[in-house]
Amino acid sequence: MSLRTNLHGRLRNTSLPKSHGLMPVFEAVVNSIHSIEENGNPDSGKIILRINRDTQGSLDLDAKLLSPITGFTISDNGCGFDQVNFKSFETLDSDHKIDKGCRGVGRLMWLKVFDLVEVESHFFDLDGKLKKREFRFEDKLGIHEDRVEEASKQQPGTLINLVGFDENFRKQVPAKGQSIANQLLEHVLWYFVRQSSAPKILVEDSGEVYDLDHLLEEHMHSSAFIETITIREYSFDLTHIKFRASVNKKHQLALCAANRLVKEESIQGKLPGLYGKISDSSGEFTYTCYVTSDYLNQHVRSERCSFDIAEDAKDMFSEVSLKDIRDAVLARTKMYLQDVLEENVSAGRKRVDDFINHHAPRYRPIVNYIAEELLIVDPEKSDKELELYLHAHWYEVERKLVSEGHDIMQPENEEHVEEYKERLSEYLRKAEDLKKSDLANYVSHRKVVIELLQKSIERLEDGKYAREDMIHQLIMPMRKESSEVFLDSCNLWLIDERLAFHNYLASDKTLNSMPITGNDSAKEPDLLTLRVFDNPLLVNDQTSFPLASITVIEIKRPMRNDMREGEDKDPIDQALSYLERIREGKVTTKSGRPIPGNNDIPGYCYVLCDLTESMHRRCRRANLRITSDGMGYFGYNEPSHAYIEVISFDQLVKAAKERNRAFFDKLGLASA
């Protein structure tokens, strides 16, 4: 089959991910390695990969302004394009060098990424004379301008010029020469760690030269360890490598085929203790296991960026799957790194224990239902990441409990009474532990809210204090009503535990927008709550509507000291005025039923503020009594039929801590 005849169609049907734009370049380097080996001079072999950039652009490595890459030039001192090699190049899917893992399609990758390939090669002909062959390779024309003439050099070798780097691929690959050199080293690493030697390989970029031998020395933490394992009667060679911690790598599994890197897979966290950088007696390192096998060679796809291997085997008679390989390699990795993983295992479990004990006691009751290996995490995990991780396991425990709850009501077939009782008892124990977790979470939430409140009343770095809306939002979301917020979003217990039980609550809404009041005023109380008490028992044959209580809460900015007479400046007067407006309206419940005896509805007014000099004055003018600790005022306003309480922010925090201290102590949470 002629290469020229089938080239265009094969290119159209050949896929290459945009992120693999350097694959054809690296494959050219591999071809050069093979050419040097074929020439019989691996020890003196030399390959240079030169990065060609747009000469019209600028190159400023310090400023990270790199000129675009236009192409690459690969030169070697291998055997060159002799008659045999050139004939193989002309033939698609050639069997030549198949023993080296070559698939005969590498040249197609060149034209997927580059517009033109220019080749100049020196070789010995059949008569032993040194000749020079030149040709060009393009999509539409195939191989053309092929000519053989007298040699212009003294030794064999090949120069391949890859011209016209496709922009779609160029944008997806590294721009720095060192990054390209590092990726090339990973691609050909097998040739460096195998028993036989690799040729000298250099990467040149605008005057900078990167020697892969030196990069390898910088990368390697210690010498490689090679072993062979068997997976379903197939042999797999494992090369365990420790890279220096300075290398920007993660712990990886690297599947290779035809002596090339094909697929990398992160195994970070796949083994207990395999997190971040690990250490041995020589210092920190990251780990990679390179896997090679005839099985992988047989199942690699032609473009060499993936395998035709199932992710998981359907049954024991199926061929080896990726999961089989992964599980087998991880088992050997665990043995290889056994000593160095122990410290991370201990630190990871301690991280979980400390987080639960000091920050998230809600998870303490359920740790017995989580596998021990799942409680070993990366010690460097942030609190947020660890919270999400534990919550996922908490959810899984709850999901299983719900499922068991449906099954527990039906005894299993042939299940003895004692067995059923034990199963029921175990279910109830788990349910009780989960409810303990819910309670612990609620108490922990309260502690966080108190800490946020204390933070919000402190002076800011600019010397000012937070606006009242920050405190308002913490107690109750602004411009919301009960039906618009979740109960957990309301923290009215900070003021009074009884306020958590209300029939209707509106936050920072105008009175005429509150469906329970029917009042036309556009005034906005900070918080308004009405509670309707149900009569649990009728004691006579008369029916009466339950009484309602109205609570108004006013919040002022910390350290505000401009309180004076008048509704606009006196928070006590403001709260009482809101109460009176509600009583004056034709008040109905949300269902439209009238509430009789409006003027007799009990009223409660809370004012949250700092007790500045002007606020002390307003409290005294309102005939309120100061509390024994001097942190608040209280009293009953007879004309308004309302109980009034002025609470300083310090008292609000102090009282909330005192009311919850017993719960915090029980959970081991600091309550200072």
Span 38-82, pLDDT tens digits: 888 778 899 999 999 987 755 554 445 689 999 999 999 999 998
- Is residue 654 in a domain? yes
- Is residue 456 in a domain? no
Chain position carrying tokens 């937070």: 466
488 and 437 within one domain: no
**At 223, which amino acid appears?**
S
578 and 488 within one domain: yes
- Is residue 236 in a domain? yes
CB 205 within 8 A of CB 99: no
Chain position carrying tokens 């946020």: 452
Q: What pLDDT score does 316 carry?
A: 65
Distance set, CA 296 to CA 293, 537, 596, 665 (Å): 5, 80, 84, 59
Q: Helix 417-456 to helix 468-475 angle, to the nearest 10 degrees? A: 170
Domain end call among 336, 351, 383: 336
Domain end call among 443, 460, 487: 443
Distance set, CA 364 to CA 100, 273, 440, 667 (Å): 57, 22, 9, 9
- pLDDT tens profile 157-191: 999 999 999 999 999 999 999 999 988 988 888 78
Domain end call among 280, 304, 336: 336
233 and 200 within one domain: no
Please list the ranges in the chain whose pLDDT falls under 50: 1-4, 61-63, 95-104, 486, 532-547, 589
**Strands 252-257 and 283-292, sheet pairing:** parallel
If we measure between CA atoms, which residue out of 538, 534, 612 comes closest to residue 571?
A: 612
Q: How far apart are CA 449 and CA 488, in angstroms?
A: 11
411 and 348 within one domain: yes
Distance set, CA 86 to CA 41, 96, 123, 263, 303 (Å): 20, 11, 11, 30, 21
First-to-last alpha carbon distance for the chain, in angstroms, is: 84
259 and 170 within one domain: no
Q: How far apart are CA 655 and CA 651, in angstroms?
A: 6
- Is residue 452 in a domain? no
- The conformation of residue 598, written as its DSSP 8-state character, comes to G
204 and 115 within one domain: yes
- Is residue 669 in a domain? no
SS3 9: helix
322 and 360 within one domain: no
CB-based contacts of 437-442 (< 8 A; 24+ apart in sequence): 437/362, 437/363, 437/364, 437/365, 437/366, 437/394, 438/362, 440/361, 440/362, 440/363, 440/364, 440/365, 440/667, 441/362
If we measure between CA atoms, which residue out of 199, 201, 211 comes closest to residue 42?
A: 199
Residue 202: CB partners within 8 Å, gap ≥ 6? 46, 47, 48, 49, 209, 210, 211, 212
If we measure between CA atoms, which residue out of 288, 279, 274 comes closest to residue 378?
A: 274
Mean pLDDT, the chain, integer: 78
CB 218 within 8 A of CB 244: yes
DSSP output for 15-80: ---GGGTTHHHHHHHHHHHHHHHHHT-TTT-EEEEEEEE-TTS--BTTTTBPPPEEEEEEEE-S--
Q: What pLDDT score does 535 carry?
A: 31
- Is residue 292 in a domain? yes
116 and 230 within one domain: no
Say how many domains are in the chain.
4
CB 344 within 8 A of CB 274: yes
Residue 447: CB partners within 8 Å, gap ≥ 6? 660, 664, 669, 671
Q: What pLDDT score does 4 carry?
A: 47
Give the residue numbers spanning the domain of 59.
Answer: 1-209
Q: What pLDDT score does 538 carry?
A: 26
- Is residue 383 in a domain? yes
Q: Provide the token pair at 64.
A: 């990270």
600 and 560 within one domain: yes
**At 279, which amino acid appears?**
S
402 and 318 within one domain: no
Residue 645: CB partners within 8 Å, gap ≥ 6? 604, 605, 606, 607, 632, 633, 634
- Is residue 459 in a domain? no
Q: How far apart are CA 69 and CA 162, in angstroms?
A: 11
Q: What pLDDT score does 363 carry?
A: 77
Is the dihedral angle over the CA atoms 210, 214, 218, 224 positive or is it negative? positive
